[in-house]
Amino acid sequence: MTEPRQQKEDPRKQILRSALEKDTFFHSQEERGFVETVRRGKAEVVPIRSREYRNVLRLRYEQETTQIPRSGHLNDVIEQLDARAIEDGPEAIVTEYTPTEDDCRWLVVRVDDEAAAAKNTIT
């Protein structure tokens, strides 16, 4: 008789849990989701739906599991995180500015600092 096979955790749930533990989510007054994350060793604010944040999630998952996440899994997680940021996250005034031609940054002024400091959790 063979031993029962251990069921692997859904990669989407792993990516989501990691994001909620390590990143801070909020939305602009225009209801656009943003995330404060660590990118290239520095804290940075980027739109949740950006290529930059997709890369953060992809590389983080690879580091944690030594596997490559499927694009569909990343899409599902990004949709979920964006919804949470818009519906449950604190509001902030977010302004895009360009310090150089090749660079774009986001200036963030928190509307509610206490709520912004609160971390989201997944059960």
Is residue 110 included in any domain, yes or no?
yes
Is residue 6 included in any domain, yes or no?
no
Is residue 123 included in any domain, yes or no?
no
Domain that holds residue 37: 11-117
Is residue 106 included in any domain, yes or no?
yes
Q: What is the pLDDT of residue 94?
A: 80
> Tens digits of per-residue pLDDT, 47-100?
999 999 999 999 999 999 999 999 999 999 999 999 999 999 998 888 776 666
Is residue 3 included in any domain, yes or no?
no
Q: Please give the Cα distance from 15 to 65 (Å, whole number).
A: 10
Is residue 2 included in any domain, yes or no?
no
Structural domains in the chain (count)? 1
Q: Please give the Cα distance from 110 to 27 (Å, whole number).
A: 10
pTM of the shown model: 0.77
Is residue 74 included in any domain, yes or no?
yes
* Tokens read off for 100: 């150089």
Edge-to-edge order in the sheet of strand 24-28? 42-47, 33-39, 24-28, 91-97, 105-110
